[in-house]
Every structure is written in structure tokens, then in C-alpha cells.
Structure 1
């Protein structure tokens, strides 16, 4: 019978621990920073909390690092130099210096992913259309036009099945509930814009009201698109359904990241924006 050799087991355990440490300390392929405000509409706040949890959860398995901040003063060249992808989860920068820093970051090859309200702009509102480059050139959408209400699911149609973002997605799929936006500009007329997903006509009527104009019965509505002049993608999704009317008020009725197909679309987009494939 072989004698017990403790030295052998010490070596084996040391090797296993070293391998585990290596796996945990392996440098990510790219770094992501998400900016958010998270103070206004409860539906947007709900989405922000949900997004931060979801991106943090999937980061290590997909070889990226995820950080988030509500300090918009971090939107400066020194801070941004640490990150390859920037996310706007709910709003946009308002300070002129922050806006210039973001525009320069994008023109220098940075990447961006935006959700829902980050594209909102409306004259004489708290978020006026006073940033022409961002809304008309970068996003291409112009001002907010109108929205559906209540937040409801829609059948989304893939408009470009060959794009890396839409790979392995079905031709149509049902989204998580959302408040859908209409824009002042027709994105189909902009040669720089690549529309990736739009609302399928089978979704109509879309919305439940109570106001008649909050229910859409026809029309063409892009919901995910990219600007081919930049490394960017915008998602109109990002507004959870909330129970504002009944106690306990502000109860969450839906979650944006409770949809596997939609999640795959977002993950595909983030990995496409990551520098490893550029």
C-alpha cells in the first residue's frame, strides 16, 4: 500500500488555487461604463436598477467589465479613456462640457449604447431639443413626437437579419412591455441610419389608452437602430410598466430583462460594440 504523501496533495491544491485566481483576475476584453440619473419617472428608475443588476451579472461570463455611475461629471476625456463602451441608461448629459467630451469620444472611435429616454428631446420641456449633433446627426431621430400608453408588449420585426446584432434572432419576437416612442424625423430617409428592428404590423392596435392618441393603429416605427458613421446603437426599450393607480403605488408590473430574446439582442449589441471585434 502506497504511503500517504502530503506534499503531492499540497502541490495539486496549489495548482488548482493558482488556476482559480488566474481565472478571476483575467483582464476583461473591454470595459463598459453606464451613466444614469435614476431620479425621475419611477418606470425609468425601475429600469435603471434592473439594468445595473443584469449587466453586472453577465459581465464576467462575457469577458467585459461593467461599471456604473450617476455622476455625470465623470463624462470627461480622462475618465472616458478607461472605457471602450459608454451606456446612457435613462437620460443624457446637460452640461456643455460633458456634451463636448461625449461627442469627441464618439468621433475618436468610442462606442455607445442608449436606451429609451436617453433619446428624448422636446421643445419647452425639461429636456429641450438643444443638442443638434446628438439628436439630429448622431441619433438621427430629432425630437420626440408621441408615445403609446400604457406600456405594452409589441411584436418586433428584424429589418436586417445579416447584421451581427440580429444574428440567431427569430424574424419576429414579442418584446417586454414598453412605452414606445414616435420621432419627428423619418429614419428611413437618413442614409447614415441602419434600422435593425421595427414594430411589426401585427402589434396594432398598440397601447391601451385611455387617451385615443396613445393607441397606435398603423404606421412605421423603428425601435432599434445604428448610425453607420459611429459605433453606436439605440434601443427604444427601457420603460417598465408600473401600477401608479392602486396601493401600494409604484408596484412594478413588468421587467425589461425578463425576456430571453430581447436580452440576447442587447448582449449581441454589446459584444458587437466591444473592441475585440473591431
Structure 2
């Protein structure tokens, strides 16, 4: 009787310690995700919509997603718990020193995967902070120069249809609203480009163009599976089936699933 009681108590303790996402629908925990997003600003609507979508994916697929709004907690020990780091519209500056060191190690040693969206390529000198040179190299050696402030629709053209993040996507798809950053040069010589935007498709037309304009790429010079996806400004993106398929594919690929 005593053994039965002890076993029951142990089982209850294990269940209570399981992440909520892993308890729903009997789905076992597959991996843990850390999502970093700004607490305010004009990208907050996207980040809020992303959280709703991620929480549903987590419940359906056995993931556990933790959210943070600054880099205060990030260090080596903190990152060890996560198989995937998602940088949701959080810029590559104003990080705490220990977070910078831990992130660089996380990527450089392949401890986990990374997905960066939109604001992750806001590379330059902003708000009094110098450019993070390591991150500049990680993103292909590019510097932010301009953007379409009044937004435009654009056609994304897939260049590597065989890459796992493009599974189930058409040869091209339309993003109805985004800012379309431009950089001082194309990252193509330093990264593997997966998709680019057709600048002639901008609606309304814009003179803010690069010529060769990658918008989805991975840097294969780093051990960690990594992918940058430029599109990530409007919450309406989560009504776009092609975008959510891309996001879902990226999560499982970057996490090595």
C-alpha cells in the first residue's frame, strides 16, 4: 500500500511539472522554444499575433514556448534549456553583454537552432549603440540602409524549392503588406539564399530597390541551423497560409526535427 501511494505521488508530481503544451491532447514534449520579442513599438501587433499562433502550434505539436521581452535572463545556463531560439522583431543591439556572449556561443557551437524575423537585420548604429560585428557577419555582412515606410505588397520568389523550409509552398507567393528593407549590398555572396522578392511586383511601386534582393536565407558557415525571414511586420501575415506554412516549416527544420 505504501509503495502504491509513493508511486501515485511520483506520477502526480511528474504530470504537474510537465509544460502545459505537452499535456494538451496527450502530445508528448518534443522540444523547447525561446521567443524573444520587443515589449512595445510598432512591431508589437505582429509579436502578439505570433504568440497566439505559436501557442496553438505548441498545443497541437507538443512544443513548449517561453517568451521574454529583453535579454536580461540570457546566459549560457539559460539557453541550455532550449532547442530553438526565435528572434521575433527584436533588433541586434542593446543586448546585455552576457546575452551577446551566450548567443554567439549558442550559434557557433550548434547548441540549438535560430529563426530571425524582420527587425533582426536592423544592422547599423542605432539609439547610440554600435553595430554588433559578430551578428553583422552572421547575417551575411549587410547594413540596413532604408525601407518602404508606407508599405507595399510584394511577390516572394522561391530560389531553393528543395530546402525543407519550402516544403508545400508554391514557386512564388504574395506578401500583402511589409516594409521591405534595403541593405548596402546583397548578402548572397556570404549566405545561401532560399527566396528573394521581385521588386518589380511592389504594389504600389517604390523606388527603394536593391536589384538582387534576398528575403529568406541561411548562413551555412555556422553549426547551428539558422534561417532569416525578412517578412514580419504586419499581424495580417498570420492570415496568409503560405507564410504560416513557411514559419512552421522553419521551426521544425531549425530545431532539427
Alignment partner of 1:239 is 2:238: no
Q: Which residue of 2 aligns with 1:29?
A: 30
**8 Å Cα contact 2:185/2:210 also seen in 1:** no
1:221 deviates by 1.0
Q: Which residue of 2 aligns with 1:116?
A: 118
Superimposed CA distance per residue, residues 232-276 of structure 1 (whole angstroms, 9 cap, x where no aligned partner): 111111112xxxxxxxxxxxxx61211001110111111111233
**8 Å Cα contact 1:141/1:183 also seen in 2:** no
Alignment partner of 1:262 is 2:243: yes
Task: Spell out the pairing of 1:1-278 with structure 2 (5 A cutoff).
Answer: 24=25, 26-40=27-41, 42=42, 44-91=43-90, 92=92, 94-109=95-110, 110-123=112-125, 125-126=126-127, 128-135=129-136, 137-190=137-190, 193-204=191-202, 206-207=203-204, 215-216=207-208, 219-230=211-222, 231-240=225-234, 255-276=236-257
SS in 1 for 2:193: strand
* Distance (Å, rounded) in 1 between the aligned partners of 2:79 and 2:175: 32
What 5-or-longer segments of structure 1 have no aligned partner?
1-20, 209-213, 241-253
- CA RMSD, aligned part only? 2.2
Given the two structures, how large is their TM-score scaled by the length of structure 1? 0.76
Q: Name the structure with the higher strand share.
A: 2
**8 Å Cα contact 2:182/2:210 also seen in 1:** no
1:117 deviates by 0.8
* Distance (Å, rounded) in 1 between the aligned partners of 2:157 and 2:36: 29
* Distance (Å, rounded) in 2 between the aligned partners of 1:80 and 1:198: 31
**8 Å Cα contact 1:149/1:215 also seen in 2:** no
* Distance (Å, rounded) in 2 between the aligned partners of 1:131 and 1:264: 31
What 5-or-longer segments of structure 2 have no aligned partner?
1-21
* Distance (Å, rounded) in 1 between the aligned partners of 2:97 and 2:171: 41
Of structures 1 and 2, the larger Rg is shown by 1
**8 Å Cα contact 1:140/1:187 also seen in 2:** yes
* Distance (Å, rounded) in 1 between the aligned partners of 2:238 and 2:168: 18
Superimposed CA distance per residue, residues 158-186 of structure 1 (whole angstroms, 9 cap, x where no aligned partner): 01011111122111111141111111232
